């Protein structure tokens, strides 16, 4: 369970123009939670509680990082669901981008799923490595709905009958969970469906 933290109701992506994310939002870095190829996530404290902050280095040679950052932030702001992480604050600094979100002390995704979820870690990793779009759609739906996975389950119909899903998320899952393989999107389009198409 994430600690309570009041989001900035007027949250926009702020261009700090020489400023730094942590002092601007009165955040104090505690420790690194994880690092990946596209960013670092740190635990930070503020007057409102603990938050996780993701930072991504800016690169003139990799403009896709800017687009990805904007897409991620806008998606987090526009999608509303109990199992989706919201964005509290976001800013562009001279050397990096950053945004804050709830801190979940349960561990990273792999450890949480391996300990508390019917889909075991090898299955999840295999879905990701093989880029099986339908399997990835099932995994996302199971994460959102907290349902048990099953053989010959019509996940698309279950998803369509669900309530509380943002329309853009429903649309993305609908395409990924398409029963006809020929009509499913390619793996390279999955992020576009989940993020870009849900924002604009």
Task: At 186, give phi and psi (nearest 5°).
Answer: -75, 160
Per-residue model confidence (pLDDT) at position 36: 72
At which of 102, 126, 150 does a domain end? 102
Residues paired with residue 91 on neighbouring β-strands, in sequence order? 14, 98
69-80 tens-digit pLDDT = 887 787 777 666
Q: Are residues 120 and 84 in the same domain?
A: no
User: Is residue 35 one of the residues assigned to a domain?
Assistant: yes
At which of 102, 117, 134 does a domain end? 102
**By the 8 A CB rule, do 173 and 141 touch?**
yes
State yes or no: pLDDT of 198 exceeds 50: no
User: Is residue 148 one of the residues assigned to a domain?
Assistant: yes
State yes or no: pLDDT of 59 exceeds 50: yes
Rg (CA), the chain: 18
Q: Are residues 117 and 181 in the same domain?
A: yes
pTM for the structure as a whole? 0.56
Q: Are residues 57 and 94 in the same domain?
A: yes
Structural domain for 55, as ranges: 13-102
Highest mean pLDDT: which range of 13-27, 145-159, 163-177: 13-27
Q: Which two tokens stand for residue 46?
A: 């503020």
Task: At 65, give phi and psi (nearest 5°).
Answer: -65, -40
Average pLDDT, the chain: 74
Q: How confident is the model at residue 188 (pLDDT cuts 50, 70, 90)?
A: low
Whether the CA torsion 157, 158, 159, 162 is positive or negative: it is: positive
More confident residue, 192 or 26: 26
Count up the domains in the chain and report the number.
2
Q: How confident is the model at residue 106 (pLDDT cuts 50, 70, 90)?
A: low
At which of 102, 136, 166 does a domain end? 102
Q: Are residues 17 and 59 in the same domain?
A: yes
Per-residue model confidence (pLDDT) at position 96: 93
């Amino acid at each position: 369970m994430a600690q309570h933290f009041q989001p900035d109701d007027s949250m926009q992506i702020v261009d700090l123009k020489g400023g730094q994310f942590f002092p601007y939002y009165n955040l104090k870095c505690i420790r690194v939670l994880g690092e990946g190829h596209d960013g670092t996530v740190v635990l930070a404290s503020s007057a409102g509680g603990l938050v996780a902050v993701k930072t991504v280095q800016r690169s003139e040679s990799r403009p896709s990082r800017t687009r990805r950052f904007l897409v991620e932030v806008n998606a987090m702001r526009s999608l509303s669901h109990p199992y989706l992480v919201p964005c509290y604050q976001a800013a562009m600094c001279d050397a990096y981008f950053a945004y804050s979100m709830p801190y979940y002390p349960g561990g990273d995704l792999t450890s949480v799923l391996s300990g508390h979820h019917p889909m075991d870690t090898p299955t999840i990793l295999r879905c990701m490595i093989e880029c099986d779009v339908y399997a990835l759609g099932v995994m996302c739906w199971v994460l959102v709905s907290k349902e048990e996975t099953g053989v010959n389950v019509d996940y698309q119909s279950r998803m369509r009958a669900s309530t509380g899903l943002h329309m853009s998320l429903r649309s993305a899952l609908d395409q990924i969970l398409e029963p006809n393989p020929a009509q499913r999107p390619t793996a390279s389009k999955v992020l576009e469906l989940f993020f870009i198409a849900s924002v604009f």
